[in-house]
Amino acid sequence: MQSLHRIAVLAGDGIGPEVTAEAVKVLKAIEEVSGPAFRFQYGLIGGCAVDQTASPLPAETIAICNNASAVLLGAVGGPQWDNKRPELRPEQGLLQIRQRLGLYVNLRPAKVIDSLANMSALKPDRVRGTDILIVRELMGGIYFGNPRGIFAKNGERLGVNTEIYREHEVERVAHRAFQLARLRRNKVTSVDKANVLESSRLWREVVTRLGRSYPDVELKHLYVDNCAMQLIDKPTSFDVVLTTNMFGDILSDEAAMLTGSIGLLPSASLGEHSALYEPIHGSAPDIAGRNRANPLAAIASAALMLRYSLHMEDAASAIEQAIERILKRGVRTAELPGKARPSSTTRMGDLVAQTAEKILKSMRPKKK
């Protein structure tokens, strides 16, 4: 029997457990076709971990994640933990797990699903066909550089942050971007501010040098201000966008608005030996426990996990096709505009699971 992929499931708080359960349901449907493939191990993170263990990231959870091929995360946080000391805030669990697993690259796909093109903040004709993958450096840059702080000098206070990029930090994320472009449309746009910042000048030099090892991938450089404009003006012209921690933080939210459906978007954070997959939305305490949450971002995160960590491209693609097919049929959860009666979280999960299983079966050659 083939060895099972260990998947750490950290459902977290609010709607986290509801949407993660649907992602696991879909993975189990994949197993109906592929045979046993996954071993799920559950761990605590966030507010529920604070309540049960007095830590937002217990040691047991770290051990489960270190032992897994990939981590599937729901969401953390909620008003009941907002007044906790900073080290007991649920979000600390998320920041710590990213650091502990050495996740240095964040992937945020922004794909406009044809049947939802009218939800975009832009005109449908402008965004139709948009399919962008933002590759953001996650462990360096201005969010982590020293010196940092608020200091007093000459009778007034000054706030200081420092943008630092070391060559190896740029190299490892740039390699990922070029490799990912090869799985897509072979185009990388590297985004910096090399006309003003030395850290960006180094970034551009390193990316240009590495680009020579990927002659089949077209490399273009854009200043971040120009990129912000082009994302609105010509969103379909982008494939992979490679950028720094802070620029990626901002541009990935801008790109998400092109799709207009922030509740449908997955993300991946990759390191050398680990990877974590999660929806970009939060724990939505306003709708938690009511079977109303949209599970598609969590399910799409599981599809990314199959593609990038487990190399099960057929299964990943089957799930993504199932999501598109169901939305095209007009099925909607409550937060999406639509004419039909809204579907519940569990019903949406059932439909994706059944459809993905059917699509995957049709991809496999029939046994004689």
Helix (H) and strand (E) counts in the chain:
12, 12
Q: How far is the CB of 134 from ligand NAD (least distance, A)?
A: 16
- C-beta closer to ligand NAD: residue 76 or 302: 76
Q: How far is the CB of 295 from ligand NAD (least distance, A)?
A: 7
- C-beta closer to ligand NAD: residue 37 or 293: 293
Please enumerate in sequence order all residues whose Cβ is within 8 A of that of 336, keeping only pairs 6 or more positions apart, or say none. 116, 119, 261, 263, 294, 342
- C-beta closer to ligand NAD: residue 15 or 33: 15
Which phi and psi (to 5°) does residue 366 adopt?
A: -70, 140
- The letter for the amino acid at 162 is T
Q: How far is the CB of 11 from ligand NAD (least distance, A)?
A: 11
Q: How far is the CB of 112 from ligand NAD (least distance, A)?
A: 18
Which phi and psi (to 5°) does residue 269 adopt?
A: -125, 125
Residue recorded with tokens 């710590």: 96
- C-beta closer to ligand NAD: residue 94 or 188: 94
Q: How far is the CB of 163 from ligand NAD (least distance, A)?
A: 24
- C-beta closer to ligand NAD: residue 15 or 101: 15
- C-beta closer to ligand NAD: residue 84 or 325: 84
- The letter for the amino acid at 331 is V
What six digits make up the tokens of 258?
């092109």
Q: Report CA 124 to chain centroid distance, whole Å.
A: 24
Q: Are strands 105-111 and 266-270 parallel, antiparallel or unpaired?
A: antiparallel
Please enumerate in sequence order all residues whose Cβ is within 8 A of that of 17, keeping only pairs 6 or more positions apart, or say none. 11, 74
Burial class (CB in 10 A: 0-12, 13-18, 19+), 319: buried
Please enumerate in sequence order all residues whose Cβ is within 8 A of that of 134, keeping only pairs 6 or more positions apart, or say none. 106, 107, 108, 109, 110, 241, 243, 248, 251, 252, 255
What six digits make up the tokens of 156?
């007034």
Residue 130 CA to residue 38 CA, distance in Å, equals 32
Partners of 10 in the β-ladder: 73
Q: How far is the CB of 28 from ligand NAD (least distance, A)?
A: 20
What residues line the site for ligand NAD (CB under 6 A)? Answer: 15, 19, 75-78, 91, 94, 263, 278, 281-287, 293-294, 297, 335
Instruction: Give catalytic residue positions.
Output: 143, 193, 225, 249, 253
